[in-house]
Amino acid sequence: MNNFHHWFNEEALKKRAVAYYRHSAEDKQENSVPIQREHARKFAAKHGIEIIHEEADEGKTGLLANRPGFVALFENWIENEAAPPFEYILVYDVSRWGRFQNQNEPAHYEFRCTLQNKKVIYIEDGFPKEDQQLIGSLQTAVKRYMAAEYSRQLSNKVFHGCMKVSEQGYSAGGTPCFGMARELLDEHKNPIRILKRGEHKEISNQRVRFVPLNDETTDAVRDIFTMFVQDEMNLSAIASHLNYKGIPSATGGLWNRDKLVRILMNETYTGARIYNKTWNRLRQGKRDNPRHEWIICRDTFPPIVSREMFEKAQERLWFMLGKWKQGRRAMKDARTLMLSGIKEFFTGKGMSEDDLFFVCHDFPVVLCVTSEDAGVGKEWCFLLPEELRCHEYVLGIGVVAQRHHPIDQFFAIPTEKFGVGGIFVLKEMDELYAQYAIGTHEIEQCILKLLNMEEGADQFSYASSKAEVPVLQTA
């Protein structure tokens, strides 16, 4: 009976814990999950702790918190009121908790545990001493920095290795662009075979390079450049042609202007291997790198298009799209501002939500980036989508790459001026500029006429109709 009471008291006093293990692909074998589990169980036995549950992340980076095991640890145990009671979270060391680049992030997750009366215990460090809490906190902070620094140093080593490989014209990873494939080379740099999706080289001294796939996708790239440069077709016509032939885009869907521009702006098709166009190291968010940071190795494979054709395509793109890439955000912001103004205007006139939806959906507007030349002044190049041809007039908006004030100029443009190609170029020095330009004080009247409405009505209703738009009288 005494033995039973002694056993019962020990079990009642025993502390409980949930263990968390993490091992990434870059970690050494001594940090494997089985070894971490062994350390955790020895630690628990030594200190009279019962491990009631274990969570593990195999092959997951510690740079991010959205690991399945780590998320489940918080959702199902630490912050779940229905979970069985426990006091500790056992983790082998600070780096297993995470190699977060922001030093506040690991502390944030530990604090969330503290709010639930759970304490994170790093097995390597043991239980913190009550009289040395400040020293313990400083040691933990230093170890967090060292864990993050390890990832930074490893990232730098990998990056410089990839740079060396790319400078020689070989692939340092990544997916081949549309019309291209990955070719495996032996240690003597002789071709072996084309790699399938998901396949990788098996020997370290083998190399991989990008080459033309030489199928219908490669032919489609050549056709896109030919139609754009030699035949001077607009982007809408090229997209319609490819969709009619049933050639899927790189993403498997239909072709559109954005997808064609990405093809036409890709210098890889000239036989160049390009690396470091974007920055996405340490999972800190992707961004574009300036061109002077790119690693460009020319003539690494037979080109799909000549450099001369590629450069002509860039010249025509620059003319047609008015610094398209730089101004894309400005055009998006300008459209948002315009639609917001339309909504505010008609809401004040009592228009219903349903009618307001159709007004914004049907509104005939085209946007372009304003370009400026010292000799001719400002210039605008508008592209007209086919679905807007049924309108007699469209509202043209010239924008500049300024986040707070992107709208530069308004125009009321007859759709017949766009011609067969759907392009209308307007220069500040031309007579047409004075004919089609409208001031900001005329915008409300212009919108009403474009929507076939009358000014001065107390309430507005809208019938979605694009026919018989009244002629605008502009200054």
- pLDDT, tens digit, 9 for 90 and up, residues 185-206: 776 777 767 777 766 666 666 6
Chain centroid offset of residue 111 CA: 31
**pLDDT score for 331:** 82
pLDDT on residue 168: 62
How many angstroms separate the Cα of 361 from the Cα of each of 365, 388, 414?
10, 12, 20
Q: Report if pTM > 0.75.
A: no
Residue 282 φ/ψ region, left for φ over 0, alpha for ψ in the -120 to 50 degree band, beta for the rest? left
Of 215, 228, 212, 230, whose CA–CA distance to 264 is shortest? Answer: 228
Lowest-confidence segment of 133-147, 175-189, 250-264, 348-362 by average pLDDT:
133-147
Q: Give the SS3 label for residue 431.
A: helix
Question: What Å distances lie between residue 408 and 367, 368, 372, CA to CA?
Answer: 11, 10, 12
Helix then strand then coil, % of the chain, to nearest 5: 45, 20, 35
Give 20-61 pLDDT, tens digit per residue. Answer: 999 886 666 667 888 899 999 999 999 999 999 999 988 888
CA 151 to chain centre: 23
- What is the C-alpha to C-alpha distance for residues 383 and 396, in angstroms, rounded to an integer? 10
Which domains occur in the chain, in start order? 2-151 (3.40.50.1390), 180-321 (3.90.1750.20), 324-450 (no CATH)
C-alpha of 14 from chain center: 49
